[in-house]
Structure 1
Amino acid sequence: MACSETLVEAALEVLNTADPAEKARLGDAIANRWLKGEISIPFHSGEDSSVPCRPARPSNVRRVAPNMMPKLGKGGSLLSRQAMLHSLVHTESWAIDLSWDIIARFGRKERMPKEFFTDFVKVAQDEGRHFMLLATRLEEVGSFYGAFAVHDGLWDSAIQTSQDLSSRLVVEHCIHEARGLDVLPSTISRFRNGGDDGTAKLLETVVYPEEITHCAAGLKWFKYMCRKKMEMEGHLATINNSDGTAVDLEQIQEEKMMIEVFHNTAKRYFRGPLKPPFNIEARTAAGFGREWYEPLVFKDFKVPD
């Protein structure tokens, strides 16, 4: 079957669609077509001016500055649980855009393997499904998307990394995704303690395990970008053991070098230190050892020797 449409063009359709439910439905259809081989891989052509600076967004959702957001509460009342669920729905709506944006923004600029696109197509498909499930649940508990004010901090930070794929992977698809893993267990407990087992089960059985895979995808492709740069700069040469056998320097220094790049990128683009407690089990499942994130707890951290 001839493929006349590239994945970047398909991703732009999603970004230019305002309604998040329609974004999710369109993204799911595109993902299925991509996985069937009906959409072609993006061709390399440098910068792509057709990518919007800001994706189309719904006009009926009131946005405020992050510091003006009212407290969500701890789930002890129905209103608090609705506000918490609304916040999750909003986060997933942006997760849809962020997943398609990384494809559209960097798909022609970077020479990435097909597996990169497949990974983020699957992430985007998951995020769309999460949005639909959580938005439906929000209506089941007597509210709707747009009933509460929201902030767009996720996109504000994405703008800061719009020129560099490695930085985008670090901030949005590693740090923010991992932070979601940190807070989900307590969020699940708050819903369950408040008597909302339906939302708790949805988060526990669908959203939580899939978000681990999303964090893993971000780390995977950050490592790929690091490795490619190190190869270009000649850092992955070989050295010899004392017995004369060759050892790939990659096996000795690669992880350390990647962590250093990760720390420096986070320090440049992420506002403030990371805040514990960390979900060590989930972060480990996603491929993050403590050495990746614990030094970022302090603003003026130094990369360890």
Structure 2
Amino acid sequence: MSEPETLVEAALRVLNTPDPVEKARLGDEVATKWLQNRITQPYDPDRDFMVPDRPARLATVELVPPGLMPKLGKAGSLQSRQAILHSLVHTESWAIDLSWDIIARFGKQEAMPSEFFTDFVKVAQDEGRHFSLLAAQLEELGSFYGALPAHDGLWDSATATSQDLLARLAIEHCVHEARGLDVLPTTILRFRNGGDNETADLLEKVVYPEEITHCAAGVKWFKYLCFRSGSISGGNRWSSQEVVGAGENNDDVINKFHQTVRAYFKGPLKPPFNEAARRAAGFGPRWYEPLATKGAKP
């Protein structure tokens, strides 16, 4: 009789599924099983597994360097709205893989508690739902995922942080996802001004509030690792619940964040910042303003 599938093994099945629609469907199925305790073991300590350097992807989306991406516009035309939405769909497709990758790549390696797996399973399930909803909306606008070029900057950052969970949390969740929080309100407004309230409502009522919780997961577990290391003043707080409130204004945690971002992220962060959303995610201006471009425009 075969051993029950662990969460990490299920995560690898998602990562090795090339079709993004099927990837989202399978991810939702795995997440539901974990959250309903039908998958009970995060990983088998005696079973080896290999996490792919790059998840399986269909070759239906033309990939170009970030600097060669066509301008998306400001949603004033149907073509611009399609381009913006296509970019968001592509981002969500990578967000699915990023969420399952952090589970498979780091959960066992860093001996993370069960709550870590649950938090990122919820993130993965949300990202799959975002992808499905936004892809369907893109088709409502007369286009489809793969109709336009895209870039893989998010996975470039994942590759750069593949050996360091602290860096992965800082860069993907506290830099890239937080940047999404900064720009989403403007994107929503542009869709409304362009007369597309359906897409604006989807972004405002579903995607935006859930992305705050995704950023919060990154902040929470960054703090947790800092305290668990024992090198942070006020350390030895191994409870993630204690860490949530304790780390926001801890100088050592903030300094570690600055060091990590400077080591793994090229260039300064770009203001303006969505301070309310970032604070809701668990980190205030002391975390990011020292890393910012002075006087930059949005």
Q: Distance in 2 between matches of 1:151 and 1:234?
A: 37
Q: How far does residue 149 in structure 1 lie from its aligned partner after superposition?
A: 0.2
Q: Please tell me whether residue 296 in structure 1 is matched to residue 291 in structure 2.
A: yes
User: Which letter maps to 1:296?
Assistant: L
Paired residues of 2:160 and 2:264 also in contact (CA < 8 A): yes
Per the alignment, residue 193 of structure 1 pairs with 193
Change in CA separation of 1:210 and 1:237 when aligned onto 2, cut-off 3 Å:
closer
Count of residue pairs brought into register by the alignment: 284
Q: Distance in 2 between matches of 1:297 and 1:52?
A: 33
Using structure 2 for the length normalisation, give the TM-score: 0.91
Per the alignment, residue 42 of structure 2 pairs with 41
Paired residues of 2:227 and 2:235 also in contact (CA < 8 A): no
Aligned-residue Cα RMSD (Å) equals 2.2
Deviations 1:171-227 (A, max 9, x none): 001111100000000000111101110000000000000000000010000000000
Paired residues of 1:169 and 1:222 also in contact (CA < 8 A): yes
Q: Please tell me whether residue 50 in structure 1 is matched to residue 50 in structure 2.
A: yes
Q: How far does residue 37 in structure 1 lie from its aligned partner after superposition?
A: 1.3
User: Which letter maps to 2:128?
Assistant: G
Q: Please tell me whether residue 162 in structure 1 is matched to residue 162 in structure 2.
A: yes
Which aligned pairs between 1:138-287 and structure 2 lie closer than 5 A? 138-230=138-230, 233=231, 235-236=233-234, 255-287=250-282
Deviations 1:259-290 (A, max 9, x none): 00000000000111000000011111111111
Paired residues of 1:45 and 1:109 also in contact (CA < 8 A): no
Change in CA separation of 1:285 and 1:252 when aligned onto 2, cut-off 3 Å:
closer
Structure number with greater Rg is 1
Per the alignment, residue 117 of structure 2 pairs with 117
Give the match's secondary structure for 2:229. Answer: helix
Paired residues of 1:44 and 1:110 also in contact (CA < 8 A): no
Change in CA separation of 1:38 and 1:237 when aligned onto 2, cut-off 3 Å:
closer
Q: Distance in 1 between matches of 2:196 and 2:54?
A: 35
Q: How far does residue 107 in structure 1 lie from its aligned partner after superposition?
A: 1.9
Q: How far does residue 236 in structure 1 lie from its aligned partner after superposition?
A: 3.9
Per the alignment, residue 302 of structure 1 pairs with none
Q: Distance in 2 between matches of 1:92 and 1:103?
A: 17
Give the match's secondary structure for 1:51. Answer: coil
List runs of 5+ in structure 2 lacking aligned partners. Answer: 237-244
Change in CA separation of 1:148 and 1:181 when aligned onto 2, cut-off 3 Å:
same
Q: Distance in 2 between matches of 1:141 and 1:153?
A: 26
Deviations 1:50-85 (A, max 9, x none): 100000112111101111100001111100000000
Paired residues of 2:51 and 2:105 also in contact (CA < 8 A): yes
Q: Please tell me whether residue 84 in structure 1 is matched to residue 84 in structure 2.
A: yes
Q: Distance in 2 between matches of 1:22 and 1:12?
A: 14
Q: Distance in 2 between matches of 1:175 and 1:276?
A: 12
Give the match's secondary structure for 1:127. Answer: helix
Q: Distance in 1 between matches of 2:34 and 2:140?
A: 33
Change in CA separation of 1:150 and 1:235 when aligned onto 2, cut-off 3 Å:
same
User: 4+ runs of 1 displaced by more than 2 Å?
Assistant: 43-46, 233-238, 250-254
Q: Please tell me whether residue 99 in structure 1 is matched to residue 99 in structure 2.
A: yes
User: Which letter maps to 1:41?
Assistant: P
Per the alignment, residue 240 of structure 2 pairs with none
Paired residues of 1:44 and 1:111 also in contact (CA < 8 A): no
Q: How far does residue 237 in structure 1 lie from its aligned partner after superposition?
A: 7.2
Give the match's secondary structure for 1:144. Answer: coil
Q: Distance in 2 between matches of 1:213 and 1:3?
A: 34
Q: Distance in 2 between matches of 1:85 and 1:74?
A: 11
User: Which letter maps to 2:83?
Assistant: A
Paired residues of 1:44 and 1:107 also in contact (CA < 8 A): no
Paired residues of 1:44 and 1:109 also in contact (CA < 8 A): no
Paired residues of 2:232 and 2:252 also in contact (CA < 8 A): no
User: Which letter maps to 2:42?
Assistant: I
Q: Distance in 2 between matches of 1:14 and 1:55?
A: 9
Paired residues of 1:16 and 1:56 also in contact (CA < 8 A): yes
Deviations 1:20-67 (A, max 9, x none): 111110000000100111211224479x66100000112111101111
Per the alignment, residue 241 of structure 1 pairs with none
Per the alignment, residue 108 of structure 1 pairs with 108
List runs of 5+ in structure 1 lacking aligned partners. Answer: 239-249, 300-305
User: Which letter maps to 2:169?
Assistant: L
Q: Distance in 2 between matches of 1:234 and 1:137?
A: 46
